[in-house]
Structure formats: structure tokens, C-alpha cells
Amino acid sequence: MHNGDQAPLRDRRRAQTEREIGEVALTLFEKQGIDHTTVDEIARLAGVSPRTFFRYFATKERAALVPHRDLEDRVDGMLSTMRGEEPLLPQLEALWGEVLKAFEDGDSEPGRQLLRVRRLMRTEPTLRMSAASLDEERQHDLIARLTRLTGEPDGIRARVLTEVAAVSVRIALDTWADSVEAGRPVDLLGTYARCRAQMRQALGEHAPL
């Protein structure tokens, strides 16, 4: 097997192990809570050593926040096509729209995992903090990437528009998840469209940014 063939295979194996550890961790957290779950227990049930666990995750909470590689690859692909000379906000909204579409109103694997994690976050403050930290890291990476794309030295435009876009996403996800919990689910993409419209109205902006 050529080295070029081995790299994708290693990546797939790593992603598979990551998903398996994450599923065990999430299931244990749901059954007995995070405080009563140890890394050793997660590792044993996932069929790996504690050392291997820490090669994948810095903390046990992070194990419940496994990214979906297919979705991450889709996002990377869209980011690679963004153009710095064109309005950033519509491009960011299209990017987030693809992410939310992948949740399929909770019918897809990413959507089901998201709902499970959000339910846990209601009673597990350490998971909420870990999720917030992960979101901050991703936002930081996105801002850095957009700053390079636009060529602006201070990155203020990228920072402002990334945060503005993220607010609509967070509100849409909160509204959708709460509606699912209440047994009266709303359409996630439709809710996101409403949030974007409200955001633009509040900003007094109708032109692309």
C-alpha cells in the first residue's frame, strides 16, 4: 500500500475510534452523570487504554463533543471557496445554513447527537463550559482564516461579522432545541431564516455586509 493510500485509512480509523469513544462517553454521561463517570471507565468500555483516550481528548467532557468529520470537511470545502473581495456576511450565512441543514431537524446522526448533548448541558455545567470553550476555539480559527482571506491587518471586519452571524445561529439552535424538548418541534432552517431577518432589521442593514 502506498503512503498516499495509508494516510486516508489512518484518518478513517482515527475518526472511527474517536466516534466510538465519544458514543461511550455520551451514553455514560446520560446514565450516571459526568461527575460519576471516569476516564478509566470510558476507556475500558470503548476498548482503549486511558493513555489512548487522552491522545484523542483533553478531558472527559470533550469526548461528548466529537465533531462529525464529514460535516467538518464540508465546512472546510465551503471556506476554501469564500472570496475576501465579496460581502462576507452572506457567505457566512450560507456556510452556517449548510451546517444547520446537516442536522436534518434531529433526524441525522449529527442532529441526534446535538440534541443529546444539549439535554445534558441543562444539568451538567462542566459540559456547558467545555462546549463554550470549544465554540470559542472554532470562532477564533474562523476569524483568523477570514482575516487572512480579506487581508485586513486588524481583522475587525472578520471578527464583527463572524460574531453577528453566530448570534443568529445560537438563537435558532436554542429555539429549535427547546421546541423539540417541548414536543412542538419547529423547522430549524426556517427558524434560522427568521433570526437572520430579525438581525438585519435590528442592525438597520438590508445590503450585504
| 209 within a domain of the structure (yes/no) | no
| 34 within a domain of the structure (yes/no) | yes
Task: In whole angstroms, give the CA distance from residue 148 to residue 72.
Answer: 20
Q: What is the band of 60 on the pLDDT scale with cuts at 50, 70, 90?
A: very high
Q: Looking at the structure, do residues 146 and 190 belong to the same domain, yes or no?
A: yes
Whether pLDDT at 174 is above 60: yes
Q: Looking at the structure, do residues 114 and 101 belong to the same domain, yes or no?
A: yes
Q: Looking at the structure, do residues 77 and 46 belong to the same domain, yes or no?
A: no
pLDDT at 205 (0 to 100): 59
Residue numbers of the domain that contains 89: 67-203
C-alpha cell of residue 170: 445560537
Q: Looking at the structure, do residues 17 and 52 belong to the same domain, yes or no?
A: yes
Closest residue by Cα to residue 72 from 93, 52, 102: 102
Query: Is the CB of residue 57 less than 8 Å from the CB of residue 30?
Result: no
Q: Looking at the structure, do residues 46 and 143 belong to the same domain, yes or no?
A: no
Q: What is the mean pLDDT of the chain?
A: 91
Query: Is the CB of residue 206 less than 8 Å from the CB of residue 200?
Result: yes
Does the predicted TM-score (pTM) go above 0.95? no
Average of pLDDT values for 25-35?
Answer: 97
147: number of CA atoms within 13 Å, CB side?
12
Q: What is the band of 30 on the pLDDT scale with cuts at 50, 70, 90?
A: very high
pLDDT at 64 (0 to 100): 96
Q: Looking at the structure, do residues 162 and 74 belong to the same domain, yes or no?
A: yes
Q: Looking at the structure, do residues 124 and 137 belong to the same domain, yes or no?
A: yes
Here the CATH number for the domain that contains residue 31 is 1.10.10.60
Q: What is the band of 15 on the pLDDT scale with cuts at 50, 70, 90?
A: confident
| 208 within a domain of the structure (yes/no) | no
Q: What percent of the chain has pLDDT over 90?
A: 79
Total domains, the chain: 2
Q: Looking at the structure, do residues 46 and 81 belong to the same domain, yes or no?
A: no
Q: Looking at the structure, do residues 56 and 107 belong to the same domain, yes or no?
A: no
Q: Looking at the structure, do residues 85 and 165 belong to the same domain, yes or no?
A: yes
pLDDT at 7 (0 to 100): 62
